[in-house]
Chain A
Amino acid sequence: MNFDIQSEDGIEIIVPLVRRLDASVAAVFKQELQSFIQQGKHYILLDFSHIDFIDSSCLGALVSILKTLNGRGELALCSLNNNIQHMFKLTRMDRIFTIGDDRAATLKAMIR
């Protein structure tokens, strides 16, 4: 799985370069993000600008990553399309993750 990775103000900005976050990539997706946390990178912004679709297995992976962080950092998401926003709302995950419209605004909210 390909990612575009940048670092800004101590926040890792990770852009998954796939169209679908589904069961076929869930395990790798989770593993890659957890390896960031193991390296001590606890502030992560996931930029979804390339993602059209996320399924339940990748949503589960996101929750796993959040649990790995265990409050010692932040996992935020930005640039979600309408379908994905709807899914986050429906599953109440919009209350669990920090979600921003675009990268700049979300970064600002994370630094506070």
Chain B
Amino acid sequence: MEQLIHGDSSETMEVTVLIVDDSKSYRHLMATMLAKWGFRVFEAEDGECALRLLEQQPVHIVISDWEMPVMDGVELCQAIRRSDFGHYIYVILVTARQSLDDLLTGMEAGADDFLSKPVNQSQLRARLHAAERVLLLENTLAARNEKISSAYRQIESDLQAAAKIQHSVLPAHNLSLAGFEADWMFLPSAYVSGDLLNYFSLDDRHIAFFSVDVAGHGVSAAMLSLAVAREFMTGRISSQLLISQNAAGESSPVAPHQVVAELNQRFCLDNDEVFSYYTLIYGVIDSTSGQGTLCQAGHPTPFIIRTGGELLAVGQGGMPVGLFPDAEYQDSDFTLDVGDRLYLYSDGITECESDRQELYGEERLQQLLCEYRALAKSQVFERVEKALRTWHSGEPENRQQQDKKQSRPFADDISLMAIERMGILNT
């Protein structure tokens, strides 16, 4: 029996051949011969019958006459190539035609091989062997493709799950704490992001916030960003990372520069090698006064936009975290009045490249946020995202693809957080 080895496995299957010819006696002759050689044989009297049969039976090789009523061999060939039977069908056209033009017509229609009439037995045998070699190759390829696709699906679903976990670490949108409200925008360059941010209560009076950007992006960066986030989340409960107690048992927030220096110690794992590091802003706001302190560690400089449109940068630079264990950090003070917004962002925004290889830059972001200062924060983020996509793709908004996933992905993770002091404006 003629058998094909199925894919990479040792599983074999019977090779089936469909003979298409309007002459019954010719079909019979061929069928007998092929059955004798071990093939499983089907017959059809024209192209249309052949197509119906192909839909029902798994056929590997079609040997079709060229001239037939209803649907000829060339049309059948075209129809087979247009359809998807889930596997490759090898087509041999049988014809008395010998001209180059005819040969080209047949090849363009998708024929794999030709046999001239009358069919010579040994030639037919050789052609069928060639067909089997191609089908075997095709089977192996299909099996490998399936393996790759299934691995890809697995990775994709893992990444989707990881993205969900990462999102669950982000604060609620428009989270209101002690008279302050924060909202954010988070756009990973792939499924998961090396950026992460949060905004939370330290005690009844103090609100803390951080924005982190791990060097690089992708899975390893995302894992480290979660490790940093965990330091902050556990830092406010168990250890003394964020809150310290004096001798009298009164607790108060640890100064941001001390927090960052401590994190730097914890993340400088090796003196000789840089595995990974991150840039960070950590800050604390006293909700009663609106006064705050933040420490900038390699992260872009945050700024405040006041209700009147005045812009104030807060920060004096500083080393990223995890590079040098003895790095020193400084605090910068600021005050938020009612309606003022403090913006923290990652360099994925300012380093976003246009189609003409120009960086978006700090100024454009500041101008945009200033211009939209009266809008709700969520609306501001929508505009920023639109502006960045337009910048990055080089196409006007209305011509951008509707599906964001199809547009050119950002090169780096993007995150932006706004913290606003709420209340009634005294005018």
Q: Which residues of A contact B (CB under 8 A)?
A: 19, 22-23, 26, 52-53, 55-57, 59-61, 63-64, 67-68, 70, 83, 89-93, 96
Contact = CB atoms under 8 A, between A and B. Distances in A.
A60 B319 contact: no
Residues of B contacting A: mostly:
loop
- Sorted nearest first, the 8 A-B pairs with minimum C-beta distance are A56-B215, A91-B298, A57-B216, A64-B274, A92-B319, A60-B274, A90-B317, A60-B215
Contacts of B276: 60
A63 B275 CA distance: 10
A56 B272 contact: no
A56 B317 contact: no
B299 to A, nearest CB: 8
23 contacts: A23-B217, A55-B215, A55-B351, A56-B213, A56-B216, A56-B277, A56-B347, A57-B216, A59-B215, A60-B216, A63-B277, A64-B273, A67-B273, A68-B272, A90-B298, A90-B300, A90-B301, A91-B298, A91-B317, A91-B319, A91-B320, A92-B327, A93-B319
A81 to B, nearest CB: 10
Contacts of A91: 279, 298, 317-320
B168 to A, nearest CB: 25
Nearest to B350: A83
B21 interface: no
B216 A26 contact: yes
Contacts of A96: 324
A67 B319 contact: no
A37 B392 CA distance: 38
Interface in B240-294: 271-274, 276-277, 279
Contacts of B215: 55-57, 59-60
Contacts of B357: 19, 52
Interface string B42-84: 0000000000000000000000000000000000000000000
B359 interface: yes
Given A22-B411, A26-B216, A92-B319, A60 B273 contact: no
